[in-house]
Amino acid sequence: MALKRLFLGSFIEPALIPALYARIRADFKAAVSGKWVDEKNLHITHKFLGDVEESEIGRIKEALSASLDRPASCEMYFSQPSSFNLKKPRVLFISAEDKTRAIFEMNSFCERSLVKIGFAAEDKPFHPHITIMRMKSVNTEAFAALINKYKDEIEKAGPQREIRLSLIESVLTPSGPIYKII
Residue 46 falls in the annotated catalytic set: no
- pLDDT of 128-150, one tens digit each? 999 999 999 999 999 999 998 88
What's the length of the chain? 182
Q: Tell me which of 4, 46, 47, 129 is the catalytic residue.
A: 129
pLDDT at residue number 18 = 87
Domain ranges, residue 166: 3-181
What is the CATH classification number for the domain harbouring 62?
3.90.1140.10
pTM (2 d.p.): 0.92
pLDDT interval class at 114 (50, 70, 90): very high
pLDDT at residue number 14 = 86
Q: From CA 132, how far away is CA 63, in angstroms rounded? A: 30
Q: Tell me which of 43, 119, 135, 146 is the catalytic residue.
A: 43
14 Cβ contact partners less than 8 Å away, ≥ 6 residues apart: 39, 40
**Mean pLDDT over residues 5-28, rounded?**
92
Q: Domain count of the chain?
A: 1
Q: Which among 168, 171, 149 has a CA at the least distance from the CA of 61?
A: 168
